[in-house]
Amino acid sequence: MFILGGTGAMAAELNLYTTREPGLMKPLIDGFTQASGVKINTIFLKDGLAERVAAEGSRSPADVLMEVDSGKLIQLVEQGLTQPVESAALADAIPANLRDPAGNWFALSLRARALYVKRDLDISSFTYEQLADPEWKGKVCIRSGQHPYNVALTASYIAHHGEEATETWLKGVKANLARKAGGGDRDVARDIMGGLCEIGIANSYYVGLMRSGRGGPEQQKWAEAIKMVLPTFKDGGTQVNISGAAVAKNAPNKADAVKFLEYLVSGEAQKIYAEANYEYPVNAKASVDPLIAEFGTLKADNVDLAKSAGFRKTASQLAEKVGFDN
C-alpha cells in the first residue's frame, strides 16, 4: 500500500496535463487522492500538450505532464518545459535506462514491440533482425513505417547497428511484406487469421485488449488465431516504448507533483496499469496481467531511450528513402 510521506502543508489540488485516455487515468487518480487527500484536476490533450504549456508560459497551472511516448517526453525537456526531480523512490523503482539521467522525466509503464505469430507456427523466439530474412518473403504484415511505433523501432535498430545496416534491414523487411504497410496493430492479428500473412509486428498490450473481449467478439477471434512472441535484438532485449511523466517547469505544487509520480510507480498503481491496459509495469516488483504474462518474461532492451529517440528523425528519413510504405 502506498503511503504518502509527510511534506508539510499539502496543496488541496494538483493539475495534470495528460495525453493518456481519461478512462485509464481515473483509477490511478482516485487511488492517489484516497492516499493523499489531494484532488487532481485532469486536462486531457490528445495532441498539442507541449504547445499548450509553452503558450501558458510562467503562469501555467500545470504540475505534472504525462505523455505516451518517450520521444514526446524528451521534446518537453528540450523545449524547457520540465524541471529536474530528485527522488529515491523513483530511482529505486525505475531502471536507469528508462528515466532521464537528469531527472526530468520518468517511465511509468512499458509496452513491447512484439511479434504476432500464426498460432500453429513453431516459433518461440525471434529477433528483429530476422524480419528481413528471405524465408519470410510475402509473409509479414506491419503498419506504416512512418507510424511513431515503427519509427521508434527503427530508431532502436539504428542505435544497435548503425544507419547503413538499418537501411538494408528496412529494404529486407519491405521485400517480405505480404501487403502494403498500413492499417493498425490489431489489423496484423486480423490479417494473420485471414491467411494473408504469418507473422507481424505490433504492440503487446493489444493482445490483452483483444483477448479480454474489450475489442468485441470479432477481435477476440483475431487474438485466438495468434500467439505473441517477445523478439529481441541479437545484441540486446525487446524494444519498448513507455508512458511517462515529468514535473512541469513552473509547477505551482512541485512537492505533491513528485509524490504523485512516486505513487504511480508504487506496487498499487503499477497493478492498476497492468490490469487497465495490459501494459508491463516499469517497477520490476509489480506483476504482469495473466493475459500477457503467459507469453514470457519481458527483457527490455538496455539501449537508453534518450539515445534511441535521437535517431527518430533519421529512422523516418530511411523509411521514406526505401519507400517502405509504397
Query: What is the per-residue pLDDT for 305?
Result: 87
Number of other residues whose CB lies within 10 A of the CB of residue 80: 9
Q: Looking at the structure, tell me whether residues 189 and 316 fall in a common domain.
A: yes
Q: Looking at the structure, tell me whether residues 142 and 130 fall in a common domain.
A: yes
Q: Can you read off the three cell numbers belonging to residue 92?
A: 529505486
Q: Looking at the structure, tell me whether residues 118 and 97 fall in a common domain.
A: no
70 falls within a domain: yes
Model confidence pLDDT, tens digit, residues 301-325 = 989 888 899 999 999 999 999 999 9
5 falls within a domain: no
Q: Looking at the structure, tell me whether residues 95 and 125 fall in a common domain.
A: no
Q: Looking at the structure, tell me whether residues 178 and 105 fall in a common domain.
A: no
Could you tell me the pLDDT band of residue 7, with boundaries at 50, 70 and 90?
A: very low
Model confidence pLDDT, tens digit, residues 120-144 = 999 999 999 999 999 999 999 999 9
Q: Is the pLDDT of residue 50 over 80?
A: yes
User: For 316, phi and psi rounded to 5 degrees?
Assistant: -65, -40
Q: Is the pLDDT of residue 6 over 50?
A: no
Q: Average pLDDT of the chain?
A: 93
Could you tell me the pLDDT band of residue 284, with boundaries at 50, 70 and 90?
A: confident
Q: Determine the 3-state secondary structure of 50 from DSSP.
A: helix
**Domain total in the chain:** 2
Model confidence pLDDT, tens digit, residues 75-122 = 999 999 999 999 999 999 999 989 999 999 999 999 999 999 999 999
Comparing CA positions, the residue from 109, 56, 65 lying closest to residue 85 is: 65
158 falls within a domain: yes
1 falls within a domain: no
Q: Looking at the structure, tell me whether residues 177 and 314 fall in a common domain.
A: yes
Torsion (CA) 118, 123, 126, 130 in degrees, nearest 10: -70
292 falls within a domain: no
Q: Looking at the structure, tell me whether residues 253 and 272 fall in a common domain.
A: yes
326 falls within a domain: no
Q: Looking at the structure, tell me whether residues 181 and 65 fall in a common domain.
A: no
Q: Looking at the structure, tell me whether residues 93 and 178 fall in a common domain.
A: no
Q: Looking at the structure, tell me whether residues 219 and 270 fall in a common domain.
A: no
Give the helix/strand (H/E) hosting 65. Answer: strand 64-67
307 falls within a domain: yes
Q: Looking at the structure, tell me whether residues 149 and 99 fall in a common domain.
A: no
Q: Looking at the structure, tell me whether residues 173 and 306 fall in a common domain.
A: yes
Query: What is the per-residue pLDDT for 12?
Result: 81
- What Cα–Cα distance (Å) separates residue 243 from each residue in 108, 112, 133, 277? 6, 12, 32, 11
* Residues found in the chain: 326
What percentage of the chain reaches a pLDDT higher than 90? Answer: 83
Task: Say if residues 325 and 182 touch (Cβ distance below 8 Å).
Answer: yes
Q: Which domain holds residue 93?
A: 13-110+241-286
| Strand 199-203 with 64-67, pairing | unpaired
Query: What CATH number does the domain containing 190 carry?
Result: 3.40.190.10
Please give the full DSSP string across 108-164, using - where no structure is assigned. Answer: EEEEEEEEEEETTS--S--BGGGGGSGGGTT-EE---TTSHHHHHHHHHHHHHH-HH
Query: What is the per-residue pLDDT for 4?
Result: 56
Helical axes 22-36 vs 254-264, angle rounded to 10°: 110
294 falls within a domain: no
